[in-house]
Chain A
Amino acid sequence: MPIYKVLAKSIREFKTPSIKAPVYVSFEVVMECIIPFIIAMLVNQIKAGGEFGVIARYGLVLVIMAALSLTFGTLAGMSCATASSGFARNLRKDLFYRIQTYSFENIDKFSTSSLVTRMTTDVSNVQNAYMMIIRTAIRCPLMLVFSFAMAFIMGGKMAFIFLFVTPLLGIGLYLVIRKTIPLFRKVFRKYDALNNSIQENVAGMRVVKSYVREDYEKEKFERAAEDVCGDFTRAEKILAINSPLMQFCLYTVMIFVLYFGSYTIITSRGLDLDVGQFSALLTYSFQILSSLMMLSMVFVMITIAGESAHRIVEVLDEESTMKSPEGGLTLVKDGTVDFEHVSFKYSKEAERMALEGIDLHIKSGETIGIIGGTGASKSSLIQLISRLYDTTEGVVKVGGADVREYDLEALRNQVAVVLQKNVLFSGTIKENLRWGNKDASDEELEEVCMLAQADEFISRFPEKYNTRIEQGGTNVSGGQKQRLCIARALLKKPKILILDDSTSAVDTKTDALIRKALREYIPETTKIIIAQRTASVEDADRIIVMEGGTVLAIGTHQELLAGNEVYRDVYVSQNKAGEQNEE
């Protein structure tokens, strides 16, 4: 589908003002073209020493015209404002809603900052272009046509000068546009990169300062800024020809009209042309040329906005790679999990499988620990269970049924995952917790916080559960954040609870207390725990050792300690000194 068609879908309830605006504009243009005509007659009356009554009558007509023009102009401006702001609102809304349908795979494709830019700067660019289109893009050609017609009506042969000057300006403007647009396109890309590097710099200021790279960064930035500035200047310099070019054409017309106009008036004794028409001709020449000029500006704006439009459509066109099945299962029977010959890679293009040949059967209510090095694909494995990604080959079953048969929301509410890269949102602790269940009572909130060992520190905050969490949860410690995230997940009362390295910042004692609470209070729930520390999984029913996307071994702590080298290595590296001490 072409870009404009995708975008046009977002106009919706603002169709009326979008149509009204150009209609009003057309009326306004008609008035604006008639006004000089009347003015010419008025001038002639004054010049001919006509009666004051006649002059006043023309004056009255003019005032009425001006009042009409004002009314239409104001109406046009207003509908245009509503239409363009409304269009922008709908675009932002459609973008946001579309992104909400994205699967994890879709989300991986776009960076946060690029999505933010698309929803703000890009939409603003398109909004401005839209305003231009429904207002100026209609206004200019109309104005051009009307002014031409009027000029011929009034000036007769004199108007032929426009046939000469207008194409001249047209060609000039065309050349300017053709030269600048590619330059602008290029420079906007560089400009984005420049801002991106500032962003990195601000975020990495500690690194910059600790390596004492301030001067290096300054120079690097200055070079990049210089480069951007050079390109911008080149483009703007070409664009700067526009205004003198327009003036040149206007002046040519003026000189021509003045000289030959005078000649025509005098030699024809005012028959072919009179003084009133003479000055009207000058007005029309101004209108014609400035319309052309505006038109060229509109072209530049639309082309620049074209880039933005393209980026917006990229998001709108991105189909979610995962759809919830129609009438899918809504109840997860129990907490069993089965992996049957599962292989998985993150994208079709990826060369390497993240998981390969996984066969795994977890009983309902079992506690499973997962241990493995960096890049062992532990997270990939558990993300398949709540269908955050789809398998490439093989089937994942939950409660005996293929995860693809479940209604997505039902599945994810009954299989709770505490992600490794977890976030809290700005708002109170209560509001954050209620993400797990928006109808939860205060008692329920306290209960899950007890389980997650969060109740104690929350009650030490002056505002307790109403304490505000800053954006990104920067005002609570890493360990506190993790415990809040666990509590939030527990609130779902899930059949399966997955903790992806969710207690890494929690001290061992608290970690043990959380596991104890989970064991005692939600025994029927299947618990899958990814951990770095063997201590976190020692008491699990079974421990899975992963390496390079495959399951290396499964067994209890004792079995693995005896039979698996990798597990033993990890255990020893964490406990060596302790054992020595116990000797």
Chain B
Amino acid sequence: MKNNRIVKKGVLKRLIKIMFEFYPVMLPIVVVCIIFNAVISSIPSIFMQNIIALVERSWQNGDWQSVAGRIGGFVLLLTVCYILSLAASFAYNRMMAVITQGSLKKLRVKMFRGMQDLPIRYFDSNNHGDIMSYYTNDIDTLRQMISQSIPQLMMSGIVVTTLFCIMMYYSIWMTFVVLLGVVIMYQVTKKVGGGSAKYFLRQQVALGRVEGFVEEIMNGQKVVKVFCHEEESKSEFDRINDSLFSDAERANKYANTLGPILNNIGNMLYVVVALTGGFFLLAKVPNMSFSGLAFSISIVVPFLNMTRQFAGNINQVSQQINAVVMGLAGASRVFELIDEEPEPDEGSVTLVNAREVDGEIVECAERTNMWAWKYPHGDGSVTYTKLAGDVRMEDVDFGYVLDKTILHDISLYAEPGQKIAFVGATGAGKTTITNLINRFYDIAEGEIHYDGININKIKKADLRHSLGIVLQDTNLFTGTVMENIRYGKLDASDEECSEAAKLAGAHDFITRLPQGYETLLSGNGANLSQGQRQLLAIARAAVADPPAMILDEATSSIDTRTEAIVQRGMDALMKGRTVFVIAHRLSTVKNSDVIMVLDQGSIAERGSHEQLIAQRGKYYQLYTGAFELE
């Protein structure tokens, strides 16, 4: 399992860039608001210093009248600052809510859109649970980072800078004392916070392991019961669970102690600043500052307040470390999915509805029962070829991985309207051939022609439109039975759907379901038997009414009697069209026009059932049970 949790270089930059692309207007406004808010929230110290200075000067004589005006003025200014700050804060908090959720949605959509365009190879070679975790775990880690950490970091950064300037304005010596504290806090954060981040990432990996194990066992829970294997799986689970516990405990220990540690370093720093201040006051150390003010209580008190604020902000930044590290690791993975190379499609030949006018093929918009390949040439002219379903493979070699050829030198031809069957043991390459015809995978050597056109030249979408496919592992989607059938042809009417179901022999059991065609299916049709799911998949293909069809073990879980009924319906539907049938059950393929016996990636025999039986070759042996292909 690819369970890497690392922060890749340049991720933060890319994330910020992409967010600016998502919100080119709103995000800059938010940034301005945050800066504004941060600056304003550092200013009160100045007013406070002034007010305290005034109080300081006049508290002994008790003369309120003489200072009331000026204090009132400062308070008023302060109020204005606060109102502005509130307005900014209100605005950016609400905008940030929009931006956070919006960015997550846009990233999600971007991932999903990208994913739809990935080649089948990607889904075959990646663990599905792992793909899912892009959408769940990884995106979720981004939420806190975007909504809280980034604004917090910006805000704190600005506050700290502003405070630093104000401090320098009052006293450079005292500022140095504060800076000393900051260095210590930085070191502590690096050590403790770094440990916390490290273990949080490890915790994610451990969690992934638990998830994988639980999924595997839950999937086979019935087998566990049958073999009374509960105790063994418990002890294995305990082992993995305990290792997750130890990582989680350590991660949280680091994370939970960082706050109190920094907080109290802040307190101690406060004492040090107070003592230094007191010492300076007493020793009458000449001040050095940008304001030129002399040391006085009215400098030391706000300075102390600023020290607290300073430390507080550093503390808050440190609290975001985990969120940032995990968020960046998540973002790295999200980008990994977005960056996957999409399925290339350089084809230009398209499939169109057509009708024949005076022997000429003419393109038309409405659905006729005739299709044509539209072939645009380099010189701008267009030729039409009638879709017939003539498929030829010439000297095809193929392997899923390099240097491991699965198909060797395959040549075959299917004439329009023929029913072609592939027979052979598992692993002989039956499914692989169909993967190549609809270009789920591209061939390494040789050529495949569809109605005389090299399939590389046909647009993938159109090629696949021309081929219906029913697979052994049926995938149904959450929704009603009717919606699932309609998946084959989105604008099909209810009548068309139930007609297709009748053809597929599915109508009977559907009407016996509690709500008939409106019965809700979920969990890949968990409430149906495997055979019933296959019947639905066939109905779905039937409503699509494709010019050619591939049935890959499509009836393997249907009993032979029902299969015979399905077969009659399918034969009626596919009359005059090319059908490829893959089955290990020979009764399924017997009535095919041509049967090809595949053995270890090569065609061993070719002919009709009668011819092959008469040949007394491999098919005959297979049929009579005297030979094993494996």
Assembly CA distance A100 to B268 (angstroms): 54
- A-B contact sample (16 more), CB < 8 A, given A120-B211, A426-B216: A70-B264, A80-B256, A113-B523, A195-B132, A202-B128, A202-B131, A210-B468, A225-B108, A283-B308, A373-B561, A374-B531, A375-B529, A435-B223, A478-B426, A507-B628, A509-B628
Task: Tell me how far the C-beta of B374 lies from the nearest C-beta in chain A, rounded to whole angstroms.
Answer: 16
Q: Is B629 an interface residue (CB 8 A)?
A: yes
- Determine whether the beta carbon of A229 is less than 8 Å from that of B101: yes
Q: Is A168 an interface residue (CB 8 A)?
A: no
Q: Is A237 an interface residue (CB 8 A)?
A: yes
Within 8 A of B (CB), among A206-262: 206-218, 221-222, 225-226, 228-229, 232-233, 236-237, 239-241, 243-244, 247-248, 251, 254-255, 258-259, 262
- Determine whether the beta carbon of A577 is less than 8 Å from that of B590: yes
A-B pairs with beta carbons under 8 Å apart, 16 shown: A46-B300, A49-B281, A52-B282, A65-B267, A70-B260, A76-B256, A89-B242, A92-B210, A204-B475, A233-B101, A258-B71, A373-B561, A435-B223, A477-B426, A477-B630, A533-B560
Q: Is B478 an interface residue (CB 8 A)?
A: yes
Task: Tell me how far the C-beta of A144 lies from the nearest C-beta in chain B, rounded to whole angstroms.
Answer: 18
- Determine whether the beta carbon of B532 is less than 8 Å from that of A507: no
B555-571 CB mask vs A (1 if < 8 Å, else 0) is 01111111110000000
Task: Tell me how far the C-beta of B242 lies from the nearest C-beta in chain A, rounded to whole angstroms.
Answer: 7
Give chain B's interface residue range (CB within 8 Å of chain A).
Answer: 35 or more
Task: Tell me how far the C-beta of A176 lies from the nearest C-beta in chain B, rounded to whole angstroms.
Answer: 12
Task: Please give me the residue from chain A that is nearest to B56 by CB atom.
Answer: A275
Assembly CA distance A582 to B67 (angstroms): 121
Q: Is B469 an interface residue (CB 8 A)?
A: yes
Within 8 A of B (CB), among A4-51: 28, 35, 39, 42-43, 45-47, 49-51
- Determine whether the beta carbon of A200 is less than 8 Å from that of B58: no
Q: Is A115 an interface residue (CB 8 A)?
A: yes
Of the listed stretches A358-366, A411-419, A517-525, A555-563, chain B binds: A411-419
Within 8 A of B (CB), among A237-293: 237, 239-241, 243-244, 247-248, 251, 254-255, 258-259, 262-263, 265-270, 275, 278-279, 282-283
Q: Is A152 an interface residue (CB 8 A)?
A: no
3 closest A-B pairs by CB: A73-B260, A77-B256, A204-B475
- Determine whether the beta carbon of A258 is less than 8 Å from that of B48: yes
Q: When A81-B252, A374-B558 are in contact, do A509 and B274 touch as well, CB less than 8 Å?
A: no
Tell me which residues across on chain A come within 8 A of B475, comparing CB atoms. 200, 203-204, 206-207
Give chain A's interface residue range (CB within 8 Å of chain B).
Answer: 35 or more
- Determine whether the beta carbon of B559 is less than 8 Å from that of A88: no
Within 8 A of A (CB), among B419-438: 425-427, 438
Assembly CA distance A488 to B223 (angstroms): 11
- Determine whether the beta carbon of B135 is less than 8 Å from that of A509: no
Tell me which residues across on chain B come within 8 A of A535, comparing CB atoms. 625
- Determine whether the beta carbon of B227 is less than 8 Å from that of A436: yes
- Determine whether the beta carbon of B48 is less than 8 Å from that of A52: no
Tell me which residues across on chain B come within 8 A of A46, comparing CB atoms. 274, 277-278, 281, 297, 300-301
Q: A479 is contacted by which of B52, B101, B426 (Cβ under 8 Å)?
A: B426
Q: Is B82 an interface residue (CB 8 A)?
A: yes
Q: Is A303 an interface residue (CB 8 A)?
A: no
Tell me which residues across on chain B come within 8 A of A578, comparing CB atoms. 623-624
Of the listed stretches B115-123, B320-328, B390-398, chain A binds: B115-123
Q: A197 is contacted by which of B305, B478, B532 (Cβ under 8 Å)?
A: B478
Task: Tell me how far the C-beta of B558 lies from the nearest C-beta in chain A, rounded to whole angstroms.
Answer: 6
Q: When A247-B85, A532-B559 are in contact, do A209 and B440 touch as well, CB less than 8 Å?
A: yes
Tell me which residues across on chain A come within 8 A of B591, comparing CB atoms. 577
Task: Tell me how far the C-beta of B76 lies from the nearest C-beta in chain A, rounded to whole angstroms.
Answer: 9
Task: Tell me how far the C-beta of B430 lies from the nearest C-beta in chain A, rounded to whole angstroms.
Answer: 12
Tell me which residues across on chain A come within 8 A of B58, comparing CB atoms. 266
Assembly CA distance A166 to B278 (angstroms): 35
Q: B59 is contacted by which of A101, A228, A248, A270 (Cβ under 8 Å)?
A: A270
Q: Is B176 an interface residue (CB 8 A)?
A: no
- Determine whether the beta carbon of A198 is less than 8 Å from that of B135: yes
Task: Please give me the residue from chain B that is nearest to A412 by CB atom.
Answer: B228
- Determine whether the beta carbon of A574 is less than 8 Å from that of B222: no
B79-92 CB mask vs A (1 if < 8 Å, else 0) is 10010011001100
Of the listed stretches B229-237, B376-384, B442-450, chain A binds: B229-237
